[in-house]
Amino acid sequence: MPTRDEINATQRFGTRYGIAATVMVELEQAVLGTAYGANGYTPLGQAEMLIRVLALQPGERLLDIGAGCGWPGLYLAARTGCRVTVTDLPIQGMRRAWERIRSDGLASSSAVVSTARHLPFRPASFDAIVHTDVLC
Ligand SMILES: C[S@@+](CC[C@H](N)C(=O)[O-])C[C@H]1O[C@@H](n2cnc3c(N)ncnc32)[C@H](O)[C@@H]1O
């Protein structure tokens, strides 16, 4: 049973992720230096910092919780060769993440609709976990 917060997040962010307007991409590029449909305050430089801090390596398994449309998880996978699973509540964002996975050829990565409260993964499925601007 979803909580009220989960229902609110699904509706609020789902509406936003359903809009892939060119002007939003241009804005994101200008402000954050990215083009992933980012929806927070994590610029490219901080994503690079995650790579350094986590020492992400090719083939490692990364989980990005509350990834919206796939930022920054899909970028981290493209940059390092790690295999990412991005998760979030709104299906609209995960659809866009799947499209990006296909267009970037990230064959070992995936997008899963899920609440962070009950993640559908076995223990020890991942080498590292990130979340950006989820606890706000
Ligand atoms: C501000 S957005 C950040 C999205 C992305 N990480 C980024 O930086 O662009 C916060 C995200 O957290 C997600 N979220 C909030 N509560 C969640 C929960 N219980 N489980 C999974 N995701 C959740 C929202 O749906 C939303 O996509």
Q: What are the extents of the domains in the chain? A: 4-130
28 CA → ligand 1 middle, Å: 17
Which pLDDT does position 122 carry in this prediction? 97
In CATH terms, the superfamily for domain 4-130 is Vaccinia Virus protein VP39 (3.40.50.150)
85 forms beta bridges with 63, 110
Q: Which atom of ligand 1 is nearest to the CA of 90?
A: 25
* Tens of each residue's pLDDT in the chain, 136 residues: 999 999 999 999 999 999 988 999 999 999 999 999 999 999 999 999 999 999 999 999 999 999 999 999 999 999 999 999 999 999 999 999 999 999 999 999 999 999 999 999 999 999 999 999 998 7
Task: Kindly state if the Cβ of 89 falls inside 6 Å of ligand 1.
Answer: yes
Residue nearest to atom 27 of ligand 1 (CA): 68
Distance 96 CA to ligand 1 centre (A): 14
Query: Is 90 touching ligand 1 by the criterion CB < 6 Å?
Result: yes
